[in-house]
Amino acid sequence: MATHVTEPAEAAVPTRTLIELAGVEKVYRSGKLEYAALRGVDLSIGAGEMVAIVGPSGSGKSTIINMITGIDRPTAGTVTVDGERIDQLSEERLASWRGANVGIVFQFFQLLPTLTALENAVLPLDFAHRGSKHERFDRAARNLELVGLGDKLDHLPSELSGGEQQRVAIARSLACDPKLIVGDEPTGNLDTHTAAEMFEVLASLNAEGKTVLYVTHDLSLAERAHRRVTIRDGVAGD
């Protein structure tokens, strides 16, 4: 799986490399069948960049995200994030690393329906045992305020619009103040107007210094990133 990177004229200049994939391959096996999802991907992403990953369905976009977040491991090659070889970490160490360094935003929100916006946003802090209960809820409330939901802390997901639920998911991803925000089609379940609003939230986080990496089928949103990484099945296109 090869990559081709397109950079607009005003791409940001990163201060240092945050993410480095070198010769990454991923082969999925089912019985005697094999499927090569990634075939020798080399990719560098600088700290503070906003990068969009685009390409046809089944080209390996989500697999790259899974490599970078440690959700899955490469069959071959290396994955280094902020100087750490995460492909070599134990499962226990990897879970701890991911909780401290990566915020993940999914397409379908994945909020717990019986918890309020505030309770959903505080969950990662509870799992990480960060601070006192009061400190955890205070941080979660600030994150919800940051994404424009300071007046809906006590609302259940069913009482929120799709865009508002995704804002809660973004606030939840910020719980442990991660270096990296990763979105796997974070606007894919939203209408065009709401998707644009979500992008502005991600862009504001990037402006504050977060590295933002997201998969999207929306080329208009992809074009607003500092860089586009195009994944095509085994082929690099110009």
Q: Looking at this protein, which amino acid is placed at residue 89?
A: L
What CATH number should be reported for the domain holding residue 197? Answer: 3.40.50.300
* Residue 103 within a domain: yes
* Residue 53 within a domain: yes
Q: How far is CA 225 from CA 53, 84, 181, 218, in A?
A: 10, 25, 14, 12
Residue 93 has φ and ψ, to the nearest 5°, of -65, -35
* Residue 94 within a domain: yes
The pLDDT value given to residue 15: 67
Answer yes or no: are the C-beta atoms of 21 and 213 closer than 8 Å: no
Please classify residue 18 by burial: count the beta carbons closer than 10 Å to its beta carbon, then call 0-12 exposed, 13-18 middle and 19+ buried: buried
| Three-state secondary structure call for residue 129 | coil
* Residue 113 within a domain: yes
* Residue 237 within a domain: no
The pLDDT value given to residue 238: 27
Range of the domain at 147: 2-232
Number of alpha helices (DSSP H) and beta strands (DSSP E) in the chain: 7, 10
* Residue 71 within a domain: yes
The pLDDT value given to residue 13: 52
The pLDDT value given to residue 89: 96
Distance CA 120, CA 134 (A): 15
Distance CA 68, CA 72 (A): 8
The pLDDT value given to residue 233: 66
Q: In what order do the strands lie in the sheet with 180-184?
A: 2-6, 227-232, 50-54, 211-215, 180-184, 102-106
Q: Which of 200, 197, 202 is nearest to 184 (CA)?
A: 202
Classify each residue of 132-168 as buried b or exposed e, where b means 16 or more C-beta atoms within 10 Å of its C-beta: eeeebbebbbebbebbbbeebbebbbeebebbbbbbb
Answer yes or no: are the C-beta atoms of 140 and 132 closer than 8 Å: no
Count the domains in the chain. Answer: 1
* Residue 238 within a domain: no
Distance CA 121, CA 78 (A): 32
The pLDDT value given to residue 1: 47
Distance CA 168, CA 141 (A): 10
| Three-state secondary structure call for residue 101 | helix
Over the chain (238 residues), the average pLDDT of each successive run of 10 is: 45 73 92 89 94 89 92 95 95 91 88 96 88 92 92 96 92 92 87 86 91 90 91 48
The pLDDT value given to residue 234: 42
